[in-house]
């Protein structure tokens, strides 16, 4: 498993090396020398990656082969017209490299992020959509810039085409960063805030909800409620497959953040109404405790509602909902359920609230 993880983390970034070097070298060197720099870097990097990761990196091999063809074409067909179109052709390769993981599913995009940082930057599930949005911005700016370069190949001089190519390569990453900063500022203005508390539950201040999910482990309060019927069955909801955290896993019927200015009771009433359409009538405090995962640290206030009513799931929040016996839950793989739910099921079993 560890070897597989290293493999995934190394592939994409190193596959960009020859292409980036080719683009950069063309700015300062003649075409033939620029192509040689890229090809040599690719041929050198392939065995190094093989030694470090134990696999032949297909992305890097494809990159090098394409650049050999492109470099050969540059030498053989070194005409004025080909030179004008070459920046657009080269940048098209970059768009393909960005586009394939960007428009794939969440798993492949997450692998791309790990690969492109060689595992040095750890991202959590909540940060993936944000990163995807920033990569989309960069992708579309490069896409428009590439279309402009193709237009220039028909109507501009070689000097103008080269200047526009260099300017784009320098300005687009900067523009992406600026857009990211503006987006963060806009999100801060419209952010949902939650209380920041200490381990005794004392409120220290407020913080945006996004900030408590970025791995900084700032302690904040959440509410959970388990809905149990008189037969001892528990109602669980299957989390949406689009959820940023634990997608598709079975979880407690009610769970959510306490908003800034809200009491625990008000937060629980709101969450129950939003997620189950129920109003609690027989609430029993279960336990409050601190739960820490790899991306956040929560002060959990857990309750039990004994009810004969069937909860009505919110399709925006959950994929499915059903009653379970404790025996049915234990007969399933643990991976089907959130770790936090499994932790609280032990509390419910110890309190003899659930029945097999």
Q: What is the CB neighbour count within 10 angstroms for residue 121?
A: 11
Task: Indicate if the pLDDT at residue 129 is higher than 80.
Answer: no
Q: Cα separation of 295 and 217, whole Å?
A: 7
| Least confident piece of the model among 99-113, 123-137, 279-293, 332-346 | 123-137
- The residue whose two tokens read 């009610």 is 254
- Percentage of the chain exceeding pLDDT 90: 40
**Mean pLDDT for the stretch of residues 121-145:** 78
pLDDT of residue 212: 85
For domain 194-350, give its CATH number from 3.90.79.10, 1.10.10.10, 1.20.1070.10, 3.90.1310.10.
3.90.79.10
Specify the residue for token string 């009653």: 323
Query: Above 50 in pLDDT, residue 7?
Result: no
* Residue in 230, 221, 204, 246 with CA at minimum distance from that of residue 302: 221
Q: What is the pLDDT of residues 148-158, one digit of tens each?
A: 999 999 999 98
pLDDT confidence bin for 16, thresholds 50/70/90:
low
Residue 207 near residue 193 (C-beta atoms within 8 A): yes
For residue 243, give every residue at least 6 positions away whose Cβ sits within 8 Å of its Cβ, in sequence order, or none.
Answer: none
Instruction: Say whether pLDDT at 140 is over 60.
Output: yes
For the chain, domain boundaries? 2-189, 194-350
Model confidence pLDDT, tens digit, residues 269-309: 999 999 999 999 889 999 999 999 878 899 999 999 999 89
Q: Within a 10 A sphere around the Cβ of 16, how many other Cβ atoms?
A: 17
CB-based contact 3:54 (threshold 8 Å) = yes
Q: How far apart are CA 113 and CA 101, in angstroms?
A: 9
In the predicted structure, residue 225 carries a pLDDT above the cut 80: yes
Shortest CA distance to 242 belongs to which of 319, 134, 341?
A: 319
Is 0.85 topped by the overall pTM?
Answer: no
Per-residue pLDDT reduced to its tens digit, 53-78 = 566 666 667 666 766 776 676 666 66
Average confidence score pLDDT of the chain: 81
CB contact at 8 A, 95 and 146: yes
b/e sequence 127-146, b meaning 16+ C-beta within 10 Å: beebbbeebebbbebbeebb
């Amino acid at each position: 498993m560890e070897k597989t993880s290293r493999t995934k983390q190394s592939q994409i970034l190193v596959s960009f090396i020859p292409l980036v070097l080719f683009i950069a070298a063309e700015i300062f060197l003649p075409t033939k020398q620029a192509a040689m720099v890229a090809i040599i870097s690719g041929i050198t990097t392939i065995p190094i990656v093989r030694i470090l990761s134990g696999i032949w990196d297909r992305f890097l091999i494809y990159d090098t082969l394409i650049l050999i063809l492109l470099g050969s074409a540059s030498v053989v067909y070194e005409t004025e017209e080909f030179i004008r179109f070459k920046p657009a052709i080269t940048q098209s390769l970059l768009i393909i490299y960005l586009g394939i993981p960007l428009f794939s599913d969440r798993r492949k995009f997450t692998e791309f992020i790990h690969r492109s940082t060689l595992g040095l930057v750890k991202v959590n599930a909540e940060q993936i959509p944000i990163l995807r949005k920033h990569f989309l911005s960069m992708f579309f700016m490069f896409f428009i810039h590439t279309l402009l370069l193709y237009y220039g190949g028909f109507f501009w001089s070689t000097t103008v085409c080269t200047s526009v190519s260099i300017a784009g390569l320098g300005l687009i990453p900067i523009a992406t960063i600026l857009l990211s900063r503006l987006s963060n500022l806009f999100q801060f203005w419209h952010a949902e805030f939650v209380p920041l508390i200490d381990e005794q539950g004392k409120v220290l201040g407020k913080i945006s909800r996004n900030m408590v999910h970025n791995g900084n482990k700032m302690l904040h309060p959440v509410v959970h409620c388990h809905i149990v019927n008189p037969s001892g069955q528990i109602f669980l909801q299957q989390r949406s497959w689009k959820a940023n955290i634990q997608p598709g896993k079975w979880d407690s019927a009610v769970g959510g953040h306490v908003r800034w200015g809200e009491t625990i009771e008000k937060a629980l009433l709101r969450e129950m109404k939003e997620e189950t359409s129920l109003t609690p009538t027989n609430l029993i405090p279960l336990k409050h405790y601190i739960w820490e995962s790899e991306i956040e640290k929560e002060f959990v206030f857990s309750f039990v509602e004994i009810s004969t009513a069937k909860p009505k799931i919110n399709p925006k929040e959950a994929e499915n909902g059903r009653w379970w016996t404790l025996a049915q839950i234990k007969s399933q793989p643990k991976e089907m359920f959130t770790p936090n739910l499994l932790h609280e099921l032990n509390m419910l079993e110890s309190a003899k609230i659930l029945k097999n």
